[in-house]
Structure 1
Amino acid sequence: MAKTRMSSKGQIVLPKAVRDAHGFGEGTEFEVIDGGKEIVLKPVEKPAAGRKLTVEEFLDGLPRLSLPVDITDDLIREAIDQEAKRKWDAENGR
């Protein structure tokens, strides 16, 4: 297992063996997924120009969250409504 250390600026260097094994070069973007007791770095794969994502690719790209409550359709609708109202108020000076 490779180890690394965070700098005073919060930077973490991936060991060369890991970068080489996965083909990570300069400028590679990573999604940082907070899994509670662990943090996962997932390389961001950009779709080829002109190519649309499949539903499976889109869903695989969504972050997985561990929440203390079960998500229901009603909770999702409430969150969407709250965000829509917040944006409406912000755009209309309220």
Structure 2
Amino acid sequence: MIASVPPDAGDQHLPIVASEVILPLSYLRKSFVGVHDRLTTVVSTKGQVILPKAIRDQLHWGAGTRLTVENTLDGVLLKSTPVFPPSSIDTLFGSMRHEGPALSIDDMNAAVAQEAERRARD
């Protein structure tokens, strides 16, 4: 598989062989916050930090979002905390009962598609 990277001004358009790529091609694109566009914030006397709205919007972190805080060598890492604890199929199997006859795969696919459309409208 060969991928190519769009050339910058004056650069040659060179193919990259997938076996030679160490990082995914997404690392070659600039992030939404560039080196010159770094956002800053201040720690309050209570130890609170306000995250810039652009970052909260991109990550869909609304008010009340729980975050996990990790201290790393590069600084502090914030990650959203899962709403539900990790589970396995064995712990969930049979937890949602269906009344009536079993549904066919086509019926289940139609129900999933209908719910996806409903959520897309909301």
Which one scores higher on RCO, CA 8 angstroms, separation ≥ 6?
Answer: 1
Query: What's the TM-score once normalised by structure 2's chain length?
Result: 0.38
- Greater C-alpha Rg: 2
